[in-house]
Each structure stands twice: as C-alpha cells, then as structure tokens.
Amino acid sequence: MLLFCETLPKSLSLHKKNDMTEIIIETERLKFIRITPTFIHHLFNTKSKEEIKTFFDFDDQGFEKYQEMHEKGMETYQLSFLFFLLVDKQSSLPIGECGFHTWNKKHNRAELFYFLKADEHKRKGFMTEAIPVILRYGFEQMDLHRVEALIAAWNEPSLKLVNKFNFVKEGVMREDYFENGRHEDSTCYSLLVSEYKSSL
C-alpha cells in the first residue's frame, strides 16, 4: 500500500521551465525527490563538485555524465525529461532512479525508465513500490496520455514488471538500441491513461 506524505498538489504546473518547486513523495520504504533539467542546471550553477556527488551519491563517472548533460543541454522545444531520485529511508542514501525520459509535451507521451544502483537492492520489491508512484505522477500531474517502455527481450525482470502494471505489448522495434558495440531490438510496451484509470 502506498503511503503519501501529502496529497500531490493539483495546481502544480510542470511546464514552466523555471519551476524549482521541491516535490518529495514518500512510500513505506522510499523517499522520491523530483529531478528536472532546471534542477540539474541549478545544482551545477550553485554547488561544488563534491556537493553534487554527495547529493546523488555519484562516483566521478556519474558526475561527468551529468556535467555533460548540464553543458550540452537536456531539452528541446518539445522534448524533456522528469525523474525521481529514489532514496532508501532506512539508510538515507540514493539507491536508484525512476521516471520519464523522451517526454514529448506536445503529444503528452513519455518513456518510462528505472534502475537500481547496486545488486544488493534488487529483488527486494523497490521498483514494484516505486512504479505506481511514478505512473500516478505522470498521468495525474504531467498530463501524460501514453507511457511507453522499451525493453530488451532478455530483460526478464523488466518484462515481468511492466506486465504487472498492465502495460500492453505492441511489437518489436528492430535494432533501435545501441549497447556494448551492437544494435539490439527493443520490445515496445505501452499504457494509456484510460487503461491506467480503469485499473485503479
């Protein structure tokens, strides 16, 4: 069961690029901290390297990835992203991320992504706990009409996860994902807002 520390504010507008409103949601084991391009730019403009590494629990490679995002840009006039840093309430440390990239604001769709940083956090139900929060935020606060998930055929845990939340398999996108020196297929799943509402 989800335990929200407060009702998500219905009046919040996520479409303002200067929106620095702090959004924190809690479930039984997790705290969700909202991350946007505006927030990342703010961190790199106001905080030191060590402060940023501590906030995200980054190593140097993680810091350099986000520094490149800050320097080269993260948005176009139509595409953006929004995700939540997942913080383990017991340790107070970030253990992963979950949210949306390729957020197309014109067409009200986005691609779901999620990951846990260490094997010790896997197979403990953290993503089963997190994804309902993310879907609710996407459909109710970001006004999404469609959420997509692109998953490699060999990624059985992710396939089970999207099936658990009633995503519909649409087909295979051939060699659309470049990883480890080769192009791989992705299986496309989607969830529409009408399907999300009917499952509540």
pLDDT along the chain (200 residues), means of 10: 35 35 83 92 92 91 93 89 94 95 96 94 95 96 97 93 96 92 95 94
pLDDT for the residue numbered 1: 31
pLDDT for the residue numbered 13: 28
pLDDT for the residue numbered 85: 94
pLDDT for the residue numbered 7: 37
pLDDT for the residue numbered 194: 97
Q: E strand or H helix at 171, and its extent?
A: strand 168-179
Q: What is the Cα 97 distance to its own chain's centre?
A: 6
Q: pTM (2 decimals)?
A: 0.84
What CA–CA distance (Å, rounded) separates 97 from 116?
7
pLDDT for the residue numbered 21: 53
pLDDT in tens, 36-93: 999 999 999 999 999 999 999 899 999 999 999 999 988 888 899 999 999 999 999 9
For 101-161, give the secondary structure using H, E and C: EEEECCCCEEEEEEEECCHHHCCCCHHHHHHHHHHHHHHHCCCCCEEEEEECCCCHHHHHH
- The three-class DSSP label of residue 180 is coil
Tokens of 162: 């999207």
**What is the set of domains in the chain, with CATH numbers?**
1-144 (3.40.630), 145-200 (3.40.630.30)
